[in-house]
Amino acid sequence: MKLRIITSNPGKATEFRRALGGMGFEIEHADEDCDEIQADTLQEVVRSCMSQLRPLALGDFALDDSGLFIDALGGFPGVYSSYAFSTIGIEGILRLMDGDEERSARFECCIGCSFRGEEFTVEGRCDGAIALRPAGAGGFGFDPIFIPSGYEKTFAEMSIDVKNGISHRGRAIQALSGTLKGKV
């Protein structure tokens, strides 16, 4: 069975491949364009992208939207995480939080899937805190400044297997896997 992962980020496709490959899925990376709407929730963004991609007859596919929600910044960057990363980056986030003792944050992920003509979404979340400075060379995006609850290392300092087991996307992919098992 083939499942296309729609993303411009090859790292995301790799995470899906590692998690779903054992279920007999052939994971194919596809970089299809989707206009990300300005929305309040990840779910709204995902549903909009799915409706834009539906007419392209891509077969079975999945896509996700993820965001870093920082409590001290009122949830910013949230649904605008990709834009914030490309404009102000990690250093910009750290500057915004300079001197702030409240460091709690969470990563959230919403995956939309079109499988055998049915569409559904699943979600995952990982709570943690923002580090005082970047650490680690792995991962992507804001991984070097996010320390998940119960750990002392950032996502960027963890092996991909450890990160995938606890991350927002890893948890959403686990939920996707469970949902797909019931449909195969």
Residues ≥6 apart with Cβ < 8 Å to 67: 42, 77, 78, 79, 80, 81, 107, 108
Contact indicator for 96, 72 with CB cutoff of 8 Å = no
**Residues with catalytic annotation?**
65
Q: What residue spans of the chain are helical by DSSP H?
A: 10-20, 42-53, 81-87, 89-96, 160-166, 168-181
Contact indicator for 93, 77 with CB cutoff of 8 Å = yes
- At residue 174, φ and ψ (nearest 5 deg) are -60, -40
CA triple 28-63-130, angle to 5 deg: 115
